Structure 1
Amino acid sequence: MTASFSLLAATDFSAPARHALERAAQLAAAHPGTQLTLTHIVSASMLARLRGLMRDEAPAMEARAADETQQALTELATRLSTQYACPIDTRLSLGSALDAITDLADELPADLLVMGARGANFVREFLLGSTTERVLSRTRRPVLAVKHRPQGAYRRVLVPVDFSVHAVAAAQTAHRWLPDAEIILLHAYEVDIESTLRFAGISDEQVHQYRARAREDALYSMAQFVARLSIPAGQLTRHVVHGAPTLRILEHEQSLDVDLIAMGKHGQSTLEELLLGSVTKHVLAYCSSDVLVAGHPV
Structure 2
Amino acid sequence: MDSICVATDLHGDADRALARAARLAQRHGARLCVVSVLPGTAQDAEISAREATLKAMISQRPEYPSLTVEIVVACGDPVSEVHHAATRCDADLVVVGPHHQGGLLDSMRLTTLEKLVQAAPRPVLLVTAPVEAEYREVLAPVDFSEACAAAVTAARALAPTAEIRLLHAVGVPYQTVVAAPGAVGEITQMVDPKPFVDDAVTQAQDWLAANPALRGLSAPEPDTVALPRLVELAMAAQPADLICLGGHTKQGILDRMLGSFTADMIRKPPCDLLIAPAAG
Change (3 A) 1:78 1:250: same
The answer to whether 1:41 aligns with 2:37 is yes
Scaled by the length of structure 1, the TM-score of the pair is 0.81
Tell me by how many angstroms 1:214 deviates.
1.5
SS of the residue aligned with 1:80? coil
Which residue of structure 2 aligns with residue 169 of structure 1? Answer: 150
Q: 1:63 aligns with which of 39, 44, 50?
A: 44
Which residue of structure 2 aligns with residue 51 of structure 1? Answer: none
One-letter code aligned to 1:148 = A
d(CA) in 2 for partners of 1:38, 1:152: 21
The answer to whether 1:254 aligns with 2:236 is yes
SS of the residue aligned with 1:15? coil
d(CA) in 2 for partners of 1:65, 1:169: 39
Tell me by how many angstroms 1:93 deviates.
1.0
Change (3 A) 1:179 1:139: same
d(CA) in 2 for partners of 1:295, 1:238: 21
Q: 1:5 aligns with which of 2, 12, 19?
A: 2
SS of the residue aligned with 1:189? coil
SS of the residue aligned with 1:293? strand
d(CA) in 2 for partners of 1:163, 1:82: 37
Unmatched runs of 5 consecutive residues or more in structure 1: 48-61
One-letter code aligned to 1:295 = P
d(CA) in 1 for partners of 2:65, 2:109: 35
SS of the residue aligned with 1:37? strand
The answer to whether 1:238 aligns with 2:216 is no
Which residue of structure 2 aligns with residue 138 of structure 1? Answer: 119
Change (3 A) 1:125 1:107: farther
Unmatched runs of 5 consecutive residues or more in structure 2: 180-188
Q: 1:217 aligns with which of 174, 199, 207?
A: 199
Change (3 A) 1:21 1:267: same
d(CA) in 1 for partners of 2:123, 2:158: 11
d(CA) in 2 for partners of 1:207, 1:142: 36
Q: Check the 8 A contact 1:77/1:89 in 2, yes or no.
A: no
Q: Check the 8 A contact 2:208/2:215 in 1, yes or no.
A: no
Q: 1:199 aligns with which of 148, 163, 177?
A: 177
Q: Check the 8 A contact 2:149/2:214 in 1, yes or no.
A: no
d(CA) in 1 for partners of 2:16, 2:60: 13
Q: Check the 8 A contact 1:156/1:259 in 2, yes or no.
A: yes
SS of the residue aligned with 1:262? strand
SS of the residue aligned with 2:249? coil
Which residue of structure 2 aligns with residue 50 of structure 1? Answer: none
**Alignment identity in percent?**
25
Tell me by how many angstroms 1:127 deviates.
5.4
Scaled by the length of structure 2, the TM-score of the pair is 0.85
